[in-house]
Amino acid sequence: MKEFELIKKYFTEQAVNRKDVVLGIGDDCALLTPAERQNIAVTTDTLVAGVHFPHETEPRAIGHKAIAVNLSDLAAMGAEPSWISVAITLPEIDETWVGEFCAGVFELCEYYNVQLVGGDTTQGPLSITVTAQGLIPFDKHISRSGAKAGDWLYVTGEIGDAALAIKHYYGKIELSKETLTATYQRLNYPKPRVLAGQALREYASAAIDLSDGVLSDLEHIRKASNVGVNIVLEDLPLSNELIDTLGHEAAIELALQGGDDYELLFTVSADNKVGMETALANVGVKVTCIGQLNATSKVTTTLNSEVTQINAIGFEHFSAKDNSHER
């Protein structure tokens, strides 16, 4: 099968057909018509085999995750996801693999009413690059730079389970069948917090999605907003599987440094706390307050009101350490 036959067979058949797509797949460019008084949010992420997912990951999970991580970026800005383009590099054409990959892509696209409008296919080591675009009403976007001293720090869902699954995949720990099943879902089928992000437009002062770990991603908010923060370690939302497997202290460290959570980390003023918690409850998303911002330029951590040192760092590409998927 040749490139254009592959595209026609697997990438043009989709359930979503948005009215704002004038011209989709099949030409040199897509033509899109956004609604009036809407900003367009654009994000791009690349997933590389062996770096962002283990080589043996099933293709449906890869397709799902490739879309989910981009929709998570849009969610952090408060955007409604609308269009995506996918560039995929394949070692060879395996129709079964491509069919399963597309199933993962289109399942998530259909759920969030996102249309695939273009992309590219090439031959080489397996990698997937997705560009996602979404719509935000004028002056309603959430940035990383709006946090202020006194704001409260929140996170959606639970954190650390995906990093636990990574440890299992790389032979650093042996998980029970039940724990592996639960953490596998968190690692390979993350749920982008799209509705939560849109609800936060009216309440959050800053936000970011958790891809590289709480400590790394929080640092982006802290530096952009020029604030300090204290994290209350006993308030971190950890699963029973994570605590039972590692113990509470090691679970805390992994949750702070582990990546691939794709939850939202955000700040909110004291005046907006109650409204935010109500809005997030209305869309069925659990949120947890894990700390407070201050006027220093430091990150501190406390455990049971005692200042505590944590030996944890977030994931960073091109670090001095081996650049592998393992966090």
* String of DSSP letters for 244-286: HHH-HHHHHHHHHH------EEEEE-GGGHHHHHHHHHHTT--
Do you know the residue count of the chain?
A: 327
Q: Which residues lie closer than 8 Å to 18 by C-beta, 6 or more apart?
A: 82, 83, 113, 115
Q: What is the pLDDT of residues 112-130, one digit of tens each?
A: 999 999 999 999 999 999 9
44 is in an annotated binding site: yes
119 is in an annotated binding site: yes
235 is in an annotated binding site: no
Homologous superfamily, domain 152-307? PurM-like C-terminal domain (3.90.650.10)
172, 248 Cβ separation under 8 angstroms: no
* pTM tops 0.85: yes
28 is in an annotated binding site: yes
Structural fold of domain 3-137: 60s Ribosomal Protein L30; Chain: A; (3.30.1330)
52 is in an annotated binding site: yes
Q: What is the pLDDT of residues 247-297, one digit of tens each?
A: 999 999 999 998 899 999 999 999 999 999 999 999 999 999 999 999 998
Enumerate the β-bridge partners of residue 76.
Answer: none
Chain centroid to Cα 24, Å, comes to 26
- CA–CA dist 302, 323 (Å, integer): 31
315 is in an annotated binding site: yes
Counting residues of the chain whose pLDDT is more than 70, the rounded percentage is: 92
Q: What is the pLDDT of residues 72-119, one digit of tens each?
A: 999 999 999 999 999 999 999 889 999 999 999 999 999 999 999 999
Question: What per-residue confidence (pLDDT) applies to 12?
Answer: 76
Ranges in the chain annotated CATH 3.90.650.10: 152-307
Chain centroid to Cα 203, Å, comes to 20
144 is in an annotated binding site: yes
216 is in an annotated binding site: no
Ranges in the chain annotated CATH 3.30.1330.10: 3-137
211 is in an annotated binding site: yes
244 is in an annotated binding site: no
Q: Which residues lie closer than 8 Å to 249 by C-beta, 6 or more apart?
A: none
Q: What is the DSSP letter of 164?
A: H
- CA–CA dist 325, 167 (Å, integer): 10
90, 126 Cβ separation under 8 angstroms: yes
45 is in an annotated binding site: yes
